[in-house]
Amino acid sequence: MTLNDAHCHFLSSPFYEALGREKYGADGHTTAERAIEELGWEAPGTAEALAARWIAELDRSHVSRVGLIASVPGDEESVAAAVGRYPTRFVGFFALNAAAADAEDRARRAFAELGLRCICLFPAMHRYRLDDERVARLFEIAAAHGGAIFAHCGYLSIEARAKLGLRSTVDVRFGDPLALAATAASFPTVPVIVPHFGGGFFREALMAAESCPNILFDTSSSNNWIRFVPGLTLTEVFRRALAIAGANRLLFGTDSSFFPRGWRRVIHGAQQTILHELGVESDVSEKIFSGNFERIFGGAS
């Protein structure tokens, strides 16, 4: 069975520069280096070098294709360079602040010129509602270019920011799956990915998926939001998501990000075990680990 991972972060040099600027005030490479050193992570080098690092890592774990996220707004070029070099392996996703004045121009350019395929929204971080007009305009642009939307809902913690002690600007109330459903319903051709089963707004995410057939969940990360719900297990989350959204609307993901940790095998292993426990048929597993990603993102662009 081929294996596709719908959720990996491309932590490029511009990503660390943005963090370093925020933490140390100055700009340029020295601040990126300081941030990387403080994190104890591996320096990414150029986008091409980081892309090659990823490919070697994915080959080792027999991962075929990944949704690769430019994880800070304005970093579309880094992921575009990675996709340009390995078009059969990477599908380009990009973080975009829907409240920024240049959001629409950036979205158009990313789809039309850079060959990226999915806008990633973090409404809790950038503080806008998912039923805002500005979000609807990004959906329109995605629809016109055959693109997808990823909308982070629920609890949000960014590992690099937390480790560097950067102030959290997150207001979780903006990450409401029901507000997302209100917009997604008007754009039935746009695949809408809600990562981590709604990140704690699980009930709302299920209701959103029930009302919008174009909403999918990604299964990524350790899903430790389940600790907010007494007694809930990840096995039960999968059982319920399969019952309501169905096998065609779950996308396997790991939320892998930095090196040397690399691709998170343990997430894959844990989710395989859960699906085995649930006794799902092999065609269900095939859809989750591979087929649904292929349906949405087609062959290589």
Shortest gap between Cβ of 140 and Zn ion (angstroms)?
25
| Minimum gap (Å) between residue 9 Cβ and Zn ion | 6
- Among 103-111, 178-186, 229-237, 247-255, which window interacts with Zn ion (CB under 5 A)? 247-255
Least Å distance, CB 150 to Zn ion, is 9
Q: Does 255 bind Zn ion (CB under 5 A)?
A: yes
- Identify which of residues 83 and 284 has a Cβ nearer to Zn ion in the complex: 83
Instruction: Number of residues interacting with Zn ion: please give it, by CB under 5 A.
Output: 1
Give the residue among 157, 131, 287, 113 at the shortest CA–CA distance from 216.
Answer: 287
**Minimal distance, residue 8 CB to Zn ion, in Å:** 8
Binders of Zn ion among 220-239, rule CB under 5 A?
none
CB of 144 to Zn ion, least distance (A): 26
204 touches Zn ion (CB under 5 A): no
Residue nearest to Zn ion (CB): 255
Q: Which is nearer to Zn ion, 81 or 160 (CB)?
A: 160
CA 239-125-141 angle, 5° bins: 80
- Report, in Å, the least distance between residue 24 CB and Zn ion: 24
CB of 118 within 8 A of CB of 80?
A: no
Given the rule CB under 5 A, which of 120-128, 249-257, 272-280, 283-291 is the region that contacts Zn ion?
Answer: 249-257
Residue 249 tokens, joined? 């609307």
Q: How far apart are CA 135 and CA 120, in angstroms?
A: 11
Q: Pull the structure tokens for residue 144.
A: 């016109």
Alpha helices in 93-233, H assignment, sequence order: 103-112, 123-126, 133-144, 159-163, 177-184, 202-211
Angle between helices 265-277 and 234-244 (to 10 degrees): 70
Q: Which stretch binds Zn ion (CB under 5 A): 78-86, 100-108, 248-256, 287-295?
A: 248-256
Distances (CA, A) of 104 to 141, 143, 270: 8, 13, 39
Strands 192-194, 215-218: pairing kind: parallel
Q: If binding is defined by CB under 5 A, does position 5 make contact with Zn ion?
A: no
- The pattern of x and - marking residues 115 through 154 that bind Zn ion according to CB under 5 A reads ----------------------------------------
Pick 92 or 182: Cβ nearer Zn ion: 92
Of residues 151 and 182, the one with the C-beta less far from Zn ion: 151
- Assess contact for 263 and 256: CB atoms under 8 A: yes
Gyration radius (Cα) of the chain, Å: 18
* Residues making contact with Zn ion (CB under 5 A): 255
